Structure 1
Amino acid sequence: MPATDRNAEIREKLDAIEAEMRRLGIWEIPAPAPEACGNMGAFGMNTMAYEQWLRHVFVPRVRQTLETGGPWPPSSSVGTQAIRNFDGWHEGSDLIDLLCQFDDLF
């Protein structure tokens, strides 16, 4: 698949993820303290909530990569992590699905 088509798919999926986060009220979650971004570990779990990581790290980094044309990682596990973090949260099922679909793009 040409890079432009893949980037369009990624942008479309990211827009849907952001829209669902807004619908759920996750988009309004406060930013982590600046020092929390230093040694945050995978998905920010060392220093912040997964929702904070999605909102303030994941979405901005994906948007930046789209803008700069930077390289994409060989795989993604945000959907798998969402399943772990949002297990039992019925309202979050659409967000989990979108994040799993994002993983499928890699």
Structure 2
Amino acid sequence: MNNEFENHYVLADMLLELEIALRECGVWECDQPSLEALASVEPFCIDTMDFSQWLRFVMIERFKSILEAGATLPTRCQISPMAAEAFKLYSHGHVSRIVKVIDNIDDHLNRQNQG
């Protein structure tokens, strides 16, 4: 199996793990953002939606599109610091799992840049 194909499968598994973690934490069932909110040009759409909305409706959807198209994965990713900040006030135990999964996604994508 070629390395790029394998990297796609690994990311797909990580996205599923992220969805499970978001569901367990109770932040998956967030409101669908408006088209205007999705059109934000700010990092993480911070001006128009909650971070959990951005994860579900922007990040995960963009990665799914990349995977479905068999396109090249990004080689730089720094989402986990924002996740840690966005979820720092949550007391739910699953929050640490969300941040860990996102950290793993960051590491996976950034490692491609080193290879």
Query: If you compute each CA radius of gyration, which structure gives the higher value, 1 or 2?
Result: 2
The Cα RMSD (Å) is 1.4
Displacement over 4 Å in runs of 4+? none
Identical-pair percentage: 25
What TM-score do you get using the length of structure 2 for normalisation? 0.85
**Structure 1 unaligned spans of 5+:** none
Q: 1:5-52 CA distances to partner (integer Å, 9 max, x unpaired)? A: 111110111110011111112111011111111224111112111111
Gaps of at least 5 residues in structure 2 are: 110-115
Once residues 50 and 40 of structure 1 are traced to their aligned partners in structure 2, the CA distance between those partners, rounded to angstroms, is 14
In the aligned structure 1, how far is the partner of 2:29 from the partner of 2:41?
A: 20
Q: What is the alpha-carbon distance in structure 2 between the residues aligned to residue 53 and residue 88 of structure 1?
A: 18
Question: Superposed, which structure 2 residues align to 1:11-90 within 5 Å?
Answer: 11-90=12-91
Residue-pair matches, total: 106
How big is the shift at 1:71?
A: 2.3
Counterpart amino acid of residue 93 in structure 1: S
